[in-house]
Structure 1
């Protein structure tokens, strides 16, 4: 869809720190991560909310989300992950996306007040994307 940032990333027209690009979706680092290694998973088609995802796409899309949750934990040495979808409210980009956020005990995340951080530079972001991608490939 013209003007959609995530559609631009899916098509390759806009840059992103990609973790994976598969038929069921594309995963890339959030540019304003809650914690470093925070991945966004989007379907290839422009869909706004989870309700718009066709039933036949659910198994493939959520299998990808599940694999990424495992990969984020394994690749980053996280204690776990937080997986979330905003529908309309707090959805900064109107394209369905699932957050996969690495968690560690005592990381300071409380409820839905998400502190944001930044990568030092593109090289650091690429390193995090590479670690998750490597764990995804082996898991």
Structure 2
């Protein structure tokens, strides 16, 4: 169910629980600023989620409140994961859903990395 991205951060959301190690995930990357793990319901051959370690509901929340170091670290983590998965040359898609109209379902900022196949103009 889409969420209201203007609500306060919910520390019991599924990504917060993954960050704390309460829920298992197939982690493929981790540094001081972010973790990346495989989506449990992939929408493409490669479908990886990159999640900042800070408590941010959405891209809007993150861009307004995160430190410069957090922003740079998160953006670098996304790029690193794409490179490590060999997606730069063939191409890939980044997607960050924000709020109800954007289809956001988890109230923790995350970026989807899709690749490994031709994706067309949009993902259905």
* TM-score normalized by the length of structure 2: 0.77
Does the alignment pair 1:90 with 2:103?
Answer: yes
After the TM superposition, which segments of 4 or more aligned residues of structure 1 sit over 3 Å from their partners? none
Q: How big is each residue's C-alpha offset from its partner over 1:66-99, in whole Å with a ceiling of 9 and x where there is no partner?
A: 111112225xx98221111111121111110001
Q: Which has the higher contact order (CA 8 A, sep 6+)?
A: 2
Structure 2: runs of 5 or more not aligned: 1-9
* Distance across 2 between alignment mates of 1:2 and 1:22: 20
* Distance across 2 between alignment mates of 1:20 and 1:104: 21
- Give RMSD over aligned pairs: 2.0
State the secondary structure of the residue aligned to 1:73: coil
Equivalent in 59, 70, 77 of residue 64 of structure 1: 77
Which structure carries more helix by proportion? Answer: 1
Aligned equivalent of 1:43: 52
Structure 1: runs of 5 or more not aligned: 114-139
* Distance across 1 between alignment mates of 2:46 and 2:111: 14
Task: Map 1:1-139 to 2 at 5 A.
Answer: 1-53=10-62, 54-56=66-68, 57-73=70-86, 79-88=90-99, 89-105=102-118, 109-113=120-124
* Distance across 2 between alignment mates of 1:55 and 1:46: 12
* Distance across 2 between alignment mates of 1:73 and 1:90: 28
- Asked whether the equivalents of residues 4 and 95 of structure 1 are also in contact (C-alpha less than 8 Å), the reply is yes
Q: How many matched pairs? A: 109
* Distance across 1 between alignment mates of 2:123 and 2:105: 15
* TM-score normalized by the length of structure 1: 0.70
Return 30-39 or 8-17, whichever deviates more: 30-39
